[in-house]
Structure 1
Amino acid sequence: MRAKIVPVLSVGILLSLALAGCSGASSPPKDDGLIHVVASTDVYGDIAKQIGGDLVSVTSIISNPSQDPHSYEADAQVQLSLSKADVVIQNGGGYDDFVDTLLKGANNPGVALVDAAAVSGHDQTPTTGEFNEHLWYDFPTVTKVATKLESTFSRLDPKNAATFAANGASFSSAVSTLESSEAAIRASASGEGAAITEPVPLYMLDAMGLVNKTPEKFSAAIEGGTDVSPLVLRETLALFGDHAVKLLAYNAQTGGPQTAQVVAAAKKAGVAVVPVRETLPAGKDYLEWMTDTVAAISAALK
């Protein structure tokens, strides 16, 4: 598993945090009638916005499309935002532990915390004994998160509960359509082989009935930021020359020489290459992004 996102707060930053906290200059307004939401990534920030609409103010800590969330370093402004939030959304499962760490020092005991891993119902995977934390590729979990947000917003702003319910129903209906698309792919492509560079899309590939043929040591090394052994790399590259897989899903936000070798081998063998991500692509919301990803996988399999 790749290194977790960790907070980095130097003495100077802590001092600036204290000064900012005293002045209140960077604090979001608390009398604007909005529910203030802080999300660890723009994936969850976008889901919150789709449920809350104009009744919520959303701050996404990680929102740069080119940012690798695993290398993110939290700063004092993040903790200040958390200290003023009504609702905080995190992925959990070891993915964004900086939220827990910073919340402990944020002096915000009344904040409502929505944790995707906690509501997912998932446990360790039987093959690796590890938890696949990339939960935004698991549509049942996304629906649970949306439902949790709807109930949380309704509790904080009961007069607008009907609006939150309507927005939640619309969002969940769109996610259900995505699940139907997965099921259609499963009906025609179940058992087909797929390769990955990291476990990012595995929930989606599993739902489509695709079989991950990638050596576990390869994807674990890439996710962990370590070198792949020559033997494991050869085994991975052979998947494409032997036509053991129909597609390669690779994390477009990370890369290195060995990942580049795998992508090049897939292209040379005529195997479709499908990019996946950990944060929103520029100009896309969550539903648009996932619709595009499902469509890309469907096209690759054909």
Structure 2
Amino acid sequence: MRNRFHFTPIAAIAATTLVGASLTACSSETAENAENTEATVSADAAKIIATTGVWADVASAVTGEDVDAIITGDAVDPHHYEPSAKDLARVTDADTVVANGGAYDAALYTVAEQDRIIHAIPLIDAEEAEEHSHAHEHGEHDHEHSHEHAHLPNSLDELEHAWFAPAKVRQVADDVAEKTGGSAEGVDKRISAIEDKLGAVPHVHIGMTETIAAGLVWGTEIHDITPEEYVKASLNRQEPSAAAVAAFLEQIENGELDMLFVNPQSTNSATQRLADAAKAHNVPIVEIRETPPAGQDFLDYFEQIVDQIADIAAHTEPSEHGHEDTHEH
């Protein structure tokens, strides 16, 4: 069937030219939009970054998008991580940096402007970070930085492993939501459930081969009775003395502990002896890692640890040996 519209050659050429131009314009516009979309996605991805996988998981739960981390996996100890030039460039290019704070990840966040950093505990400057690194590398601890008293710090702001303090996780999640427009409701709900479970744990005595779980037991009836000399060495990242280890072993052998917290990512001959003694005397061991096992989300891991503690406490008779709680929370 013939088209009832009749074009003169000139009109046809004009129409063809117009259609061609239109298609070219649409094609160019589509390509440009695609490029712009890709650029926007890349820009969005670069807007927020975390120093560690733990804080990346918290930020991801708030933003609803995957947040990248500089230090990832469970094979790297963040305490000793030496950032590359590329790592530092990623931090300086980000609009928002989610960090732990303190000396823990200072090698990374100190290159960013402070108003772009969301942090759990107070920040330190580059000079303080260098001094701290030098002191621990050479085993030097002056009076100001040395923990002369073995008791746990008096404030959550003094806890290095802040991600195991429920209140600090909630604080960071709320700050991320405020900064990015995300929602911290899901994280708040999960943290509240964690706090409820920890609050329901009856009075029990624990020992810790490292103070990694200090924030977790803060304000609860879970009392850390680790020998003071051992705690002091742990806080100063020093090898505990033979006497400190012997006192710890005595607690285990005498049945004074209801459970032992061990960080499997930070072990030495002393921690191995303590773990072996706990197994020999049927003292439950709770493994609390510096970072979650590969492929596991931090919030899932946190819930798993708390469930294990609650389960052990529910099936454990409080230690019959009286012991004065020397570690205030």
TM-score (norm 2): 0.70
- Does 1:51 pair with 2:51? no
Which residue in 2 is equivalent to 1:140? 167
Which residue in 1 is equivalent to 2:81? 72
Which residue in 2 is equivalent to 1:101? 110
The answer on whether the counterparts of 1:38 and 1:89 sit within 8 Å (CA) in structure 2 is yes
Which residue in 2 is equivalent to 1:106? none
1:241 to 245, 253, 270: 253
Partner Cα distance (2:114, 2:301) in 1: 33
Q: Note the 1:167-206 alignment, pairs <5 A.
A: 168-185=184-201, 189-190=202-203, 192-206=204-218
The answer on whether the counterparts of 1:249 and 1:275 sit within 8 Å (CA) in structure 2 is yes
| SS in structure 2 at match of 1:172 | helix
The answer on whether the counterparts of 2:57 and 2:299 sit within 8 Å (CA) in structure 1 is no
**CA deviation after TM superposition for structure 1 residue 140, in Å:** 1.2
- Does 1:117 pair with 2:129? no
**CA deviation after TM superposition for structure 1 residue 300, in Å:** 2.2
Partner Cα distance (1:205, 1:126) in 2: 16
2:50 to 23, 39, 52: 39
The percentage of aligned residue pairs carrying the same residue is 25
The answer on whether the counterparts of 1:182 and 1:207 sit within 8 Å (CA) in structure 2 is no
Partner Cα distance (2:228, 2:152) in 1: 8
**CA deviation after TM superposition for structure 1 residue 139, in Å:** 0.7
Partner Cα distance (2:150, 2:80) in 1: 27
The answer on whether the counterparts of 1:40 and 1:96 sit within 8 Å (CA) in structure 2 is yes
| SS in structure 1 at match of 2:173 | helix
Partner Cα distance (1:110, 1:204) in 2: 27
Which residue in 2 is equivalent to 1:20? none
Gaps of 5+ in 1: 1-28, 104-108, 155-163
Which residue in 1 is equivalent to 2:285? 273
Moved over 6 A (4+): none
Which residue in 1 is equivalent to 2:6? none
Partner Cα distance (2:92, 2:299) in 1: 29
Partner Cα distance (1:37, 1:114) in 2: 10
User: Given the superposition, is the C-alpha separation of residues 147 and 243 from structure 1 closer, same or farther in structure 2, using an over 3 Å criterion?
Assistant: same
**CA deviation after TM superposition for structure 1 residue 219, in Å:** 3.2
Partner Cα distance (2:153, 2:214) in 1: 15
> Of the two, which has the highest radius of gyration?
2
**CA deviation after TM superposition for structure 1 residue 42, in Å:** 0.6
Partner Cα distance (2:283, 2:219) in 1: 21
| SS in structure 2 at match of 1:74 | coil
- Map Cα deviations across residues 260-288 of structure 1 (whole Å, 9 max, x no partner): 00111111111001100121222321221
RMSD value over aligned CA atoms? 2.4
Which residue in 1 is equivalent to 2:233? 221
User: Given the superposition, is the C-alpha separation of residues 101 and 113 from structure 1 closer, same or farther in structure 2, using an over 3 Å criterion?
Assistant: closer
1:254 to 266, 274, 288: 266
Gaps of 5+ in 2: 1-37, 124-146, 316-329
Which residue in 2 is equivalent to 1:282? 294
| SS in structure 2 at match of 1:45 | helix
- Does 1:211 pair with 2:223? yes
Partner Cα distance (2:301, 2:52) in 1: 15
User: Given the superposition, is the C-alpha separation of residues 70 and 228 from structure 1 closer, same or farther in structure 2, using an over 3 Å criterion?
Assistant: same
**CA deviation after TM superposition for structure 1 residue 296, in Å:** 1.2
**CA deviation after TM superposition for structure 1 residue 225, in Å:** 4.0
Aligned residues, how many?
248
- Does 1:91 pair with 2:100? yes
- Map Cα deviations across residues 17-49 of structure 1 (whole Å, 9 max, x no partner): xxxxxxxxxxxx863252522211111001111
- Map Cα deviations across residues 126-184 of structure 1 (whole Å, 9 max, x no partner): 93668221111111111111110000002xxxxxxxxx23xx11221111111111111
The answer on whether the counterparts of 2:152 and 2:214 sit within 8 Å (CA) in structure 1 is no
